[in-house]
Amino acid sequence: ETGVTQSPTHLIKTRGQQVTLRCSSQSGHNTVSWYQQALGQGPQFIFQYYREEENGRGNFPPRFSGLQFPNYSSELNVNALELDDSALYLCASRRDSNLNTEAFFGQGTRLTVV
Amino acid sequence: AQSVTQLDSQVPVFEEAPVELRCNYSSSVSVYLFWYVQYPNQGLQLLLKYLSGSTLVKGINGFEAEFNKSQTSFHLRKPSVHISDTAEYFCAVRLPPGGGGSNYKLTFGKGTLLTVNP
């Protein structure tokens, strides 16, 4: 059983650019959540996808968007990057969004906006 | 809404000493409670969780935590730490499943950096 994998591991972008981060869910998991972890902070919930639809969102602007594909892998897209978007972005997958199941986290993508 | 407060941002201890990392939460309804560990340049790994039942929960790597409803606390303990326990520890809460709403997201504290010195 493979774990949650994220790509790329590190990324440097310029302010105003757009970025796409990718997440491959653990086998058998149909729910993916994305979190932003700024330096020295705990992770903050961005949104969750369940069976290809967004079914929950945190306090993030619309320029943060996502997709989930039929194989349950997922993308996080951020438009018009700002310096404050620099953070570790974590993806977590679970088996079902409504059941008491554990979320497994990937190693994250470190995004630096300059 | 739920919130989590980790009372210590940094906890330095010597190897083989006991340690307690403190966590308090705020919620108007019952919640699930979690402790995660994050090693440098890594994602989050679940240490233990409290869902219901016994208030003393045992996790991996010799850690345990006790849920105290009256004090809204979920402190993490280990009787004897190792150098390899040096990491960032996060306490988190989540609503139980059922009834829709925001039961899916984890709300984290700001973390406690545990440094184990020889």
| B4 in contact with A, Cβ within 8 Å | yes
What is the predicted pLDDT for the residue at A13?
Answer: 98
Q: Does the distance separating the beta carbons of B104 and A55 come in below 8 Å?
A: yes
Which residues have a Cβ under 8 Å from the Cβ of B70 and sit 6 or more positions away? Answer: none
Structure confidence at residue A97 as a pLDDT band (50, 70, 90): low
Q: Does the distance separating the beta carbons of B44 and A43 come in below 8 Å?
A: yes
Which residue in the set B36, B105, B108 is minimally distant from A33, CB to CB?
B105
Which residues have a Cβ under 8 Å from the Cβ of B98 and sit 6 or more positions away? Answer: A98
Return the minimum-mean-pLDDT range out of A12-16, A30-34, A42-46, B39-43: B39-43
Percent of chain A with pLDDT over 70: 95
Instruction: Mark the ranges of chain B whose per-residue pLDDT is less than 70.
Output: 98-103
What is the predicted pLDDT for the residue at B100?
Answer: 47
What is the predicted pLDDT for the residue at A98?
Answer: 63
CA distance B115 to chain A (A): 15
Q: Which residues in A lie closer than 8 A to residue B44 (C-beta atoms)?
A: 43, 90, 92, 105
Q: What is the pLDDT of residues B74-87, one digit of tens each?
A: 999 999 999 999 99
What is the predicted pLDDT for the residue at A30?
Answer: 87
